[in-house]
Structure formats: C-alpha cells, structure tokens
Amino acid sequence: MSEAFDPRNNPVPNTGPLLVATSLALATLAPVAAHQLGKLKRLPDPPGRLFRSDRITGSSTAHPFGVPDSLLGIASYSVTLTLALLARRHWQARKLLGIKLLGDGTMASINMIRQIVTFRRLCSWCTGTVVCTAAMLIAGRGLIRAELSDTAWRGLNEKAIDLATERSSLSDRVLQ
C-alpha cells in the first residue's frame, strides 16, 4: 500500500522572486487607486493611441458594485503577499498560495481581455499589473504545479480505488 499523501512534505519554496513580483504588482495598483479615489487627476500614459488609462479606470466597468477595482486588486494582492510571506513556515499557506496564484492569473487575464474587447485600448498601469502577475505565476510555478499535481493525484487515487472496488465486486458476482 502506498504512503498517504502529506502536504507537509512539499518542499519549502524560494519565495523571494514571488515577493518582489507581488510587491511590484501592488505598486502598479497604487496610482490607479489614487486616480479612482480622486487623489490623482490624471494617470500618465506612454505616447501613442494604444493606452487610455484615464478612460478605462474611470469607467463603470472598473467599479464593480461601485468599488474601484484597484482597491479590490490591492486587497487581493495583499492576501497573495501575506501567503507568500507565510509559505516558508506553513504548509497550509503553500497550498493556499498555489491556488491563489491561479486565481490572480485568471483575474488579470480576464481584466486584460475585457479592456481589449470593451475599449480596444489598454490601461498602461493595468498592463503593468498583468506583467507583474505573469512574473508571479512564473515565480510560483513550483507551488502551482505541486498544488495541481497533489489535487490531481488524490483525485486519480480516489478514482482508481473506486474502479478497483467496482471491478472486485463485479468479479465476485461473476464467480458466484
């Protein structure tokens, strides 16, 4: 019989790059929050027609339920940063961090696609957040891989046990 799964056996990750990428993501959200809260009149954009940060961050799309999305992002990335800080000492934080990173990547991708589809332009600051989130996913790929493989392995084990039990009971009935 194989040894039972124990998440505490997962290796302790090097969270340094992840901490840097998450901190930079938070830094890109700070000016957007200041703009959305009326503390910063204008968000500077690179020259050209591709970026329209003021228009995008001032839209109703950027205020779900009336809350500036930058504040939701700051709260979310703060949770990620906290989990990354705790991950070196607590296996539970490592597991949650792998899942949280997948959520961060998913939300960043959805927001980027929504900007392209809805506005046909990009918020340069939000693009910075997406780039930082991609760096977070790369830095945390070991945690994500461990979480996915652990979850998949447990699911596969359960299916194999169910199948073996089913075959065993079927063969018992055939032999009778």
Please give the domain boundaries of the chain with CATH numbers for all domains: 16-141 (1.20.1440.130)
Cross-strand partners of 51:
122
Q: How confident is the model at residue 4 (pLDDT cuts 50, 70, 90)?
A: very low
Q: Note whether 37 and 68 are within 8 A (CB).
A: yes
The reply to whether the predicted model has a pTM over 0.95 is no
Structure tokens at 98: 């792998």
Q: Note whether 112 and 130 are within 8 A (CB).
A: yes
Condensed to tens digits (0 to 9), the pLDDT of residues 107-144 reads: 999 999 999 999 999 999 999 999 999 999 999 998 88
CA neighbours within 13 Å on the CB side: how many for 51?
Answer: 15
Could you write out the three-class secondary structure of the chain? CCCCCCHHHCCCCCCHHHHHHHHHHHHHHHHHHHHHCCCCCCCCCCCCCCECHHHHHCCHHHCHHHCCHHHHHHHHHHHHHHHHHHCCCCHHHHHHHHHHHHHHHHHHHHHHHHHHHHHCCECHHHHHHHHHHHHHHHHCHHHHHHHHHHHHHHHHHHHHHHHHHHHHHHHHHHHC
**Sign of the C-alpha dihedral computed for residues 64, 70, 75 and 79 taken in this order:** positive
Nearest to 123, CA basis, from 137, 108, 138: 108
Q: How confident is the model at residue 148, as a pLDDT?
A: 77
Q: Is the pLDDT of residue 62 over 60?
A: yes
Q: Is the pLDDT of residue 3 over 50?
A: no
Q: How confident is the model at residue 24, as a pLDDT?
A: 98
CA distance 65 to 68: 9
